[in-house]
Amino acid sequence: MMSKGKVAVLCLSHFKGGMELDAVKETKLFRKYGIDAILVCRADTFLEDVAREQGVPFVSIAFKRKLSLPLIQGLRSVIKDEDIDTLVFFGASEIKSIFFSVLGKNCRVIVRHGTTKSSSKKDPIHRLFYSCVSDFVGISEHLSKNALKILPSRPDNTHTIYNSLEQDFFTVNKQAPRTFLHVGRVDEGKGVFDAIQALGKAKIPQEYKKLTFVGHVESEDTKEEMMELAKKCHVEVSFEGFRSIVSSYYQQNSFFLFPSHGEGLGNVILEALSNGMSCITYDNTVFPELRNLGLEGFYMAKDRDTDMLAVEVESAFKQRDSVDLDKNEKILSTYFSSLVHVQSWKKVLYKEG
């Protein structure tokens, strides 16, 4: 059995999004369930600010380039000073610096694979840099398969560990208005235009064609285009911006309309389901996998087909009262509870070998 040493959740991103929040959440979960863990992040970033605000133990490293001496020296110092046994790396592009950071040190590297990738990393150069990695963890079966296809991984060192729900309890607001919600970056790839078009086409009462967007607006031009499209489609839209806590929005709507063009897991879908919402997506990437778990109130349309997406909106609207929410609660607790999540991670962290 491998020694149960200190774990560093390593996320060097300077962006403001789901992966960064997941890194904070993972560190907190590890510590809650008895794993000695800290967060290692890039200095002067959103992630550092969130860690400080939430009281998560962290060490930050100042650097400018993904392959740089300051990053390598900084990470080597953290490994030594904090007595780090394992790095759980959220990301991909800094793997070269990580290779040099652990060179000659008794420090294991686990890559947490959370985004679908298309360009192969199996050439000799990438194989060299990924040789420091002992295991790969996909946050869905879809992503584990993607890792095997794209990264220099093997079936025996590639694992699937679903993200856990933000809350380990199931809440439903049966009085929620039959309106629609989208959570995520306000960006074309998240299906924001598709959502407006489909809702406009759907044959449901006009008073329910209300769609709230919760997420960072990537471009004011995109927002203006969306507002023009909404006016043309007779859909009422509102923009709430980025919110670190969105539970109240899930409770204030009945339908989660999320026709993303591709997701690694789609945490927001799980959160919507745990709040008793009906979910409408495209039939791509991870979404078939989720529905195949047996979840109720999960509707999928042919990828990039807004006409079929409108039909699924109509079905969700008509069938809202017949969704078996008790069944969903059982499935979510079986696959996505925080306890199940951390137990799965412990098997990888402390595996024999």
Domains of the chain: 6-164+337-349 (3.40.50.2000), 180-334 (3.40.50.2000)
278 burial type by CB count under 10 A (0-12 exposed, 13-18 middle, 19+ buried):
buried
Q: Which long-range contacts (CB under 8 A, 24 or more apart) does 51-55 make?
A: 51/24, 51/27, 54/24, 54/28
Phi/psi for 351 (5° steps) reads -65, 160
Amino acid at 229: L
Residue 1 has pLDDT above 50, yes or no: no
What is the per-residue burial (b if ≥16 Cβ within 10 Å, else e) of 233-264? Answer: bebbbeeeeeeeebeebbbebbbbbbbbebbb
The CA-atom distances, in angstroms, between 19 and each of 16, 64, 67, 86 are 8, 20, 20, 19
Tokens, residue 82: 């904090």
Amino acid at 248: S
Closest CA to 261 of 309, 324, 223: 309
Phi/psi for 3 (5° steps) reads -65, 145
If you average pLDDT over residues 237-260, what whole number do you get? 95
Instruction: State residue 234's pLDDT score.
Output: 98
Tokens, residue 27: 């560190």
Q: pTM of the entire structure?
A: 0.90
DSSP class of residue 93 equals T
Each residue's pLDDT tens digit, 325-348: 888 999 999 999 999 999 999 999
351 against 330, higher pLDDT: 330
**Across the strands, what pairs with 238?**
212
The CA-atom distances, in angstroms, between 284 and each of 139, 162, 290 are 16, 18, 11
If you average pLDDT over residues 226-244, what whole number do you get? 96
If you average pLDDT over residues 266-284, what whole number do you get? 93
Instruction: State residue 266's pLDDT score.
Output: 77
Each residue's pLDDT tens digit, 98-153: 999 999 999 999 999 999 999 999 999 999 999 999 999 999 999 999 999 999 99
d(CA 27, CA 14): 18
CB atoms inside a 10 Å sphere around CB 232: 11
**Average pLDDT of the chain?**
95
Percentage above 90 pLDDT, the chain = 88
C-alpha dihedral, 242 to 247 to 252 to 256, nearest 10°: 70
CB atoms inside a 10 Å sphere around CB 70: 14
d(CA 295, CA 337): 15
d(CA 257, CA 272): 10
d(CA 199, CA 76): 52
Percentage above 70 pLDDT, the chain = 98
- Measure the CA angle with vertex 125, ends 124 and 129; round to 5°: 115
Instruction: State residue 352's pLDDT score.
Output: 54
If you average pLDDT over residues 62-87, what whole number do you get? 98
Residue 246 has pLDDT above 70, yes or no: yes
Instruction: State residue 84's pLDDT score.
Output: 98
